[in-house]
Amino acid sequence: MTLSPGTRLGVYEVTAQIGAGGMGVVYRARDTRLDREVALKILPELFISDPQRVARFQREAKTLAALNHPNIGAIHGVEEANGLAALILELVEGTTLADRIAQGPVPLDEALPIAKQIAHALEAAHETGIIHRDLKPGNVKLRPDGAVKVLDFGLAKAMEPVDGAANVSHSPVITTPAVTQAGSILGTAAYMSPEQARGKPVDKRADIWAFGVVVFEMLTGDRLFTGATISDTLASVLKTDPNWRALPPAVSPRLRELLRRCLDKDPKRRLRDIGDARVQIEDLLAGAPEETGAAMIAGTLPTWQRVVPWVATGFLAAGFVVVLLLLATWPKASPLAPVRLSTELGAGLRCVCRAEKRRWKPPDLRSTTDPTEGDAVAGDRRRREPVLFARRPLDRIFRRRQAEEGCCHGRCGHHVVRRSERSRRGVERGRHNHF
């Protein structure tokens, strides 16, 4: 049903038709009560005939009306009259981004500010738990003053059947044939994320995918995923990789990498937060150096650059653990063992010699059985006797140190032990020679 100028819908008077899309026909109208111009989106008859869908839509509309952001088209309310239901929207003057892309590629210095404002709008909606689900150039308005308005936030979910929210075949932008053109239906399919095309539940990462597609098309001026039918378009989304060579040379490696992360077909590897994309774009607009690692966000590095550092870190950690285990199981030996050993030997020798000197008495040379021994032999015996008495305590010191150090003699104090052993063997020879 087409509304002619002058038609009244409650307090709203239709003045002209603006356009048509998968979720209804849009009219320019005047609010006779508040004397302001608004946009009326007349909902499809198929939708109105389902009371459950209407009730769900009214609940969702209340949530959407709470969105208040300069880059989001406001929702003023819902109006039902004359058997029709209409969504009252903010009237945004200007052309759509789709019209701008139809004229050719958007220069980088013009595309980046548009992309930043779209990311701002998505970020504000995601923070309140609202997902757009139908982001495309036709839902982005470019005002004459340079401001960007994203329209139809959350309407795809609001208009889904109550029992078919996760099935792509139930999507209102795909199944509403009465008021849509083939181009608009195919356009919606071309911006669906792979998981959305498979009919799986979606989250904010579906909007991040659509954001990547929109930015890619701004820079190239061509449709990223195409097909003669809806099925062909969805198959292209699922199987075709973007032609990265189509991006103009002015696109920096940093922006290319951001687009790669947005257009990762695996939602687990896709950019996690649209706010990260906004920060990246703001840095590009500010002229941040490309090589500045601190400016790169964690989710925008290619797979090999994200994996290699973790693998290297893992090997280093494993090597560190192995070293700790070896040190824990290695025979204990203090680095001060040679010093302690030599100090203990010297102290023990001095102590024993002093004790034995006090206990030792010179032998009675007059009672010796060998009259030929003489003064020289007696003097030599007096020099060796304290050392012979000291051998037994020193042997105990050596045995105790050997028990403590085990096989570590080669590393700690071996030169001291070797010299001490030579001294002991010399004492042993002297004792045998004496007796």
Angle subtended at Cα 205 by Cα 313 and Cα 291, rounded to the nearest 5 degrees: 45
Rg (CA), the chain: 45
Contact 271, 299 (CB under 8 A): yes
417 vs 406: CA distance, rounded Å: 13
CA dihedral defined by 367, 372, 378, 379, rounded to 10 degrees?
A: 150
Catalytic residue among 134, 152, 264, 276: 134
- Whole-angstrom CA distances from 256 to 1, 34, 194, 249, 259 are 45, 47, 20, 10, 5
In the numeric block, the tokens 């096989």 are attached to 407
271 vs 298: CA distance, rounded Å: 9
134 is an active site residue: yes
H or E stretch at 155:
helix 155-158
Angle subtended at Cα 31 by Cα 28 and Cα 34, rounded to the nearest 5 degrees: 145
Neighbours of 75 (CB within 10 A): 24
Catalytic residues: 134
